[in-house]
A and B are shown apart, each in its own frame.
Chain A
Amino acid sequence: MQTIDMETTALRDLNATLQAQAETTNQTTWEITNPKGSHAIAVGLDAPIDVTVKGSTGYYCAGMNKQATITVDGSAGPGVAENMMSGKVVITGDASQYAGATGNGGTLVIKGNASSRCGISMKGIDIIVHGNVGHMSAFMAQSGNLVVCGDAGDALGDSIYEARLFVRGSVKSLGADCIEKEMRPEHLTLLTDLLERGGCDAKPEEFKRYGSARELYHFKIDNAY
C-alpha cells in the first residue's frame, strides 16, 4: 500500500500521482492521510485502483472518477463524485449537497445522510444512501437509480426524466412531474442488486418507487405557467 500524506504533499502532486496510474499499475492500493477538508481530492482518476481517504474531504472529492474505487473514511463536502463515469465511491459518514451530481455511471454509496440536491441531473449513476436525503434530490435526474433507505426531503425528483427513485421512508413532498410508480418484479430485482452493491441490509419490499409522469416531456401551453 502507498500512503500520501497531505500534510507534506501538495494537492497537485497528490492528484498527478494518482492520475498517472495506468490501467496496468501494480500499485493498486493507496491511502491518503490528513485530508483536513481539502477540495478536489482524487479527481479525474482513470485506473482500477483503490484509494482510501482517511478523514473528511471538502468539495468535489472523486470528481469525474473513472474506474477507481475511492472510499472517504469520514464525511464528504459538496459535489462528491460529481460527473462520475465509472468505478465506485463510498462515503462512510455524511455527504453534503449535490452528491453524485450529473454522474454518468459507477456507484456512489453514502453510509450516512446526504444533504440537498443529491443526484441532481444524474445521467446514469447509481446512488445508494443509507440515511436520508435533503430537498430537491434527483432534480432533473435523467437516468440511473437513487436508493434512499431513510427519508427524502421536499420536492423529490422535480422535473425528473427517466431516473428511478426508490425510497424506504417518508417523502416530504414530490417535485413537479414526479409520481409514485408501481414496483414491479423487475424493479425488485434491480433494487436487490443495488442494495447489495450498497452494502445495505434493507429489504426491497420495504421501498416505494418514484419516477417521471412524463407530463413535462413536451413543451406545451399548460407547462408554460
Chain B
Amino acid sequence: MNDENISAPRTMPIQSATFSQDTNAEIRRAAATGIYDIRGGGAKRKVPHFDDLLFLGASISRYPLEGYREACDTSVTLGTRFAKNPIQLDIPITIAGMSFGALSGAAKEALGRGATLAGTSTTTGDGGMTPEERGHSEKLVYQYLPSRYGMNPDDLRRADAIEIVVGQGAKPGGGGMLLGQKITDRVAGMRNLPKGIDQRSACRHPDWTGPDDLEIKILELREITGWKVPIYIKVGGSRPYFDTTLAVKAGADVVVLDGMQGGTAATQDVFIENVGMPILACIREAVRALEDLGMHREVQLIVSGGVRTGADVAICMALGADAVSIGTAALIALGDNDPKWEAEYQKLGTTAGAYDDWHEGNDPAGISTQNPELSARLDPVEGGRRLRNYLKVMTLEAQTIARACGKNKLHNLEPEDLCALTMEAAAMAKVPLAGTDWWPGKPGTAF
C-alpha cells in the first residue's frame, strides 16, 4: 500500500504571532510602494486602558446615593488660576481640537451645536477658527499651534480660552499633514498656501523653544487678550510628570494631556502605534506633578485619548483629572464609520469601524472631507442633536457610577473607589490589583 494514502495526522497551518497577517500585508505594501502608511485615528494596538479598571461601589463601609434622584454635580470650572473669565462647564466632557481642513465646515458646526446644547466647550484646531464654529459654540477654545495657520489677534480675542498645542498623544514630537486633495480654495485661503499642495504643519513652535520661552509667550498672549481668558497647554503623553510641572511653571491655567490612543487627522502609522504612552499611564503622574507643586485643582487637568463612555469619564475623575476631552468618539457620534455606509467603505477597500484614511478626503460619512457632495451628507443640526445625546448619556453614566460610590459630585470620585484587573493597569493607575491591597510600585512595598 502506498504511504501517501494513509491519512496520517498533520500539523495545522499555523499563523505566526510575530509575522501576523496584517504585519505581512504591511511588509508587502511597503515593498510595493516604497512609502510608509499614513492614516488617521489613534493607536489600534491593545494597550492597558480604562477597561482594565473597575469601580468597587458602596458596601457596608460606604453608603451609596439614590439612583438618578439624589444630586450628583457634574459641573467644572476651568482656568481659575489667572484668567479673569474662567470657563464654566455643565459637564466635564469637552470636545477636543480637530482642524477645519481635516473636518468639513458642517462637521465643525455640528460639534459646536452639540457641545453648546450639552453645556460644554469645543476647540478649534490646525487651520484656524471658522465662523461656523465660532457661531455655534457658546464656549470655544482657540488652538495656538506651531503652524499658526489662520492665527490672528481678532480671533484670539474672540476665543473663550487659548490652547497652546505643544503635542498630541497620537504623535508626540510630530507635526501635521494635510494632503492636497483636501486643500480647497477655502482651506488654502485660511492657511495662506497654494491650493492643492500637500501641507506640512510644523512640529515645533516657530518663536519659542524651551519652557522659559514658553512662559514669556504666555505673558504675550495674556497681554494681547487682557488677561481675560484661560490659557491651556496641551501635551502628548510622553513625560507627564515633567511636562505637567513645566507647563504649570510656565504659567498654564489648564494642562491638557492626550494619551497615545488619541486620534489624529493624519500621520504616519508607525508614529501613531509606537510613540507615546497610554493615557492610563499618564494621569496619576500628571496629578502627582500638580500635587507636588500644590496646584492640584488650582491648575485644572483635562485628559484624553480613548475616552468612550461615562465609565471612562468617571475613571478619569477618580484618578484626579478635572475634565476629559473627546475627539474620535464625537466623530463616531456624528456618524463616522457607521455601518450604514458599508458598501462605500468596501469600495474604498475597508470596512465600517476600520476606515481611517481620513487624510484622503473620501469619507463616506461626510465628516473628514472637503468634498461638497460628501459633506452634504452630514446635517449639522442632526449631528449636533446626536452629539448632545451622546454627551448626555456619558454624563448620566458617570453620575450613576459616582452615586454608586456614594459621591454627590463627580469630582469626589477617588482612586480608593477603583481596583485593577491586571498588574499593568494596577501599576499605571496606582490602584490595587482586584482582591489585593497591593499594586506594583506601591510605596513601602517590595515588588
Contact = CB atoms under 8 A, between A and B. Distances in A.
B226 A19 contact: yes
A102 B151 contact: yes
Contacts of B28: none
B180 A218 contact: yes
Contacts of A78: 207-208, 213
B373 interface: no
Interface in B175-210: 177, 179-180, 191-194, 197-198, 200, 202, 206-208
B148 A159 contact: no
Interface in B212-248: 213, 216-217, 219-220, 223-227
B192 A40 contact: no
B36 interface: yes
Given A39-B219, A58-B216, A121-B206, A224 B152 contact: no
Interface stretch (A9-17, A24-32, A179-187): A9-17
A218 B220 contact: no
Contact of A11 (B193, B200, B206, B223): B223
Interface string A148-179: 00000000000101100000000000000000
B359 to A, nearest CB: 10
Nearest to B36: A224
Contacts of B197: 161, 217-218
A211 interface: no
Interface in A26-59: 39-40, 43-44, 46, 58-59
B178 to A, nearest CB: 10
Contact of A63 (B33, B192, B220): B220
A120 to B, nearest CB: 4
Interface in B114-147: 147
B152 A85 contact: yes
B354 interface: no
Interface in A105-127: 117, 120-121, 123-124
B294 interface: no
B206 A43 contact: no
Given A11-B223, A85-B152, A142 B206 contact: no
Nearest to B151: A83
Contact of B216 (A40, A97, A143): A40
Interface string A204-219: 0000000000000111
A44 B153 contact: yes
B111 interface: no
Contact of A98 (B36, B192, B206): B206
Interface in A55-84: 58-60, 63-64, 66, 78-79, 82-83
Contact of B198 (A58, A120, A218): A218
Contacts of B223: 11-12, 15, 40, 43-44
B34 interface: yes
A1 interface: no
A85 B34 contact: no
21 contacts: A39-B216, A44-B157, A59-B217, A64-B152, A64-B224, A78-B213, A79-B207, A79-B220, A83-B148, A83-B151, A104-B152, A117-B206, A120-B207, A121-B202, A142-B193, A162-B193, A162-B194, A218-B197, A221-B33, A221-B35, A224-B35
Contact of A60 (B193, B198, B220): B220
B170 interface: no
Contacts of A19: 226
Q: Is the interface of B mostly helix, strand, loop or mixed?
A: loop
Contacts of A142: 191-193
Interface residues of B, number: 35
Interface of A: 11-12, 15-16, 19, 39-40, 43-44, 46, 58-60, 63-64, 66, 78-79, 82-83, 85, 97-98, 101-102, 104, 117, 120-121, 123-124, 139-140, 142-143, 159, 161-162, 217-221, 224
Contacts of B433: none
Contacts of B147: 121
A140 B202 contact: yes
A4 to B, nearest CB: 14
B397 to A, nearest CB: 42
A121 B148 contact: yes
A58 B223 CA distance: 14
Contact of A104 (B192, B207, B220): B192
Given A78-B207, A121-B148, A123-B148, A64 B194 contact: no
Interface in B40-66: none
Contact of A40 (B34, B152, B194, B219): B219
Contacts of B213: 59, 78
Nearest to A212: B194
A40 B217 CA distance: 8
Nearest to A39: B216
Q: Which of A63, A121, A224 has the most CB of B within 10 A?
A: A121
A123 B148 CA distance: 9
A102 B194 contact: no
Contacts of A124: 192
A100 B119 CA distance: 39
B153 A64 contact: yes
B425 interface: no
B217 A123 contact: no
Interface string B241-285: 000000000000000000000000000000000000000000000
Interface in B347-379: none
A120 B206 contact: yes
Given A83-B152, A140-B206, A217-B198, 10 more contacts: A16-B226, A43-B223, A44-B225, A58-B216, A60-B216, A60-B220, A98-B206, A102-B148, A117-B207, A218-B198
Contacts of A46: 153
A142 B192 CA distance: 7
